[in-house]
């Protein structure tokens, strides 16, 4: 999709307010609480948000982040858009999460630099 098409799509679909869905965990904090996450997405729909941001930058493992995004996108279905952030530990993880997000049905991503990335030259950024 070219830039013009992306802008057109965004103008047609990204209207309103996006909320944030934070991951819920089981009481012993050993696993994601899928029932709770799905409930939160249903509440985002019920309150009229056009989209929900699956907040992955919340101390989860990379595998938990992928599972969380999958749960949010699955529960959202066609009723609400889903976005997520790409703020992983490395560019390789960011590329892997982007591919996973596309497969899971995520509509948009917010790209950031890995927290441990400290460029020394402009070439490292470009």
Domain count, the chain: 1
- Does 12 reside within a domain? no
Three-state secondary structure readout of 48-101: CCCEEEECCCCCCCHHHHHHHHHHHHHHHCCCCEEEEEECCCCHHHHHHHHHHH
Q: Domain range holding 56? A: 17-125
CATH number, domain of 97, equals 3.20.20.70
Q: If you average pLDDT over residues 47-57, what whole number do you get?
A: 96
- Does 51 reside within a domain? yes
pLDDT-above-70 percentage for the chain: 99
As a whole number of angstroms, the distance between CA 51 and CA 19 comes to 7
Q: If you average pLDDT over residues 4-18, what whole number do you get?
A: 90
For the cut 90, the answer to whether the pLDDT of residue 118 exceeds it is: no
- Does 112 reside within a domain? yes
91 — pLDDT class (breaks 50, 70, 90): confident
- Does 99 reside within a domain? yes
Q: Determine contact, residues 93/70, Cβ cutoff 8 Å.
A: no
As a whole number of angstroms, the distance between CA 56 and CA 53 comes to 9
Of residues 39 and 122, more confidently modeled: 39
What is the H or E stretch that residue 34 is in?
helix 34-46
- Does 96 reside within a domain? yes
pLDDT in tens, 78-90: 999 999 999 988 8
Say what the pLDDT of residue 96 is: 97
For the cut 80, the answer to whether the pLDDT of residue 123 exceeds it is: yes
- Does 8 reside within a domain? no
- Does 56 reside within a domain? yes
């Amino acid at each position: 999709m070219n830039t013009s098409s992306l802008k057109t799509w965004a103008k047609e679909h990204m209207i309103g307010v996006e909320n944030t869905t934070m991951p819920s965990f089981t009481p012993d904090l050993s696993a994601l609480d899928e029932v709770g996450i799905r409930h939160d997405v249903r509440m985002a729909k019920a309150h009229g948000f056009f989209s929900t941001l699956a907040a992955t930058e919340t101390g989860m493992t990379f595998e938990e982040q992928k599972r969380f995004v999958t749960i949010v996108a699955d529960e959202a279905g066609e009723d609400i858009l889903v976005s997520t952030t790409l703020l992983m530990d490395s560019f390789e993880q960011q590329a892997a999460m982007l591919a996973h997000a596309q497969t899971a049905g995520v509509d948009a991503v917010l790209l950031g630099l890995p927290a441990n990335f400290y460029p020394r030259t402009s070439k490292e950024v470009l």
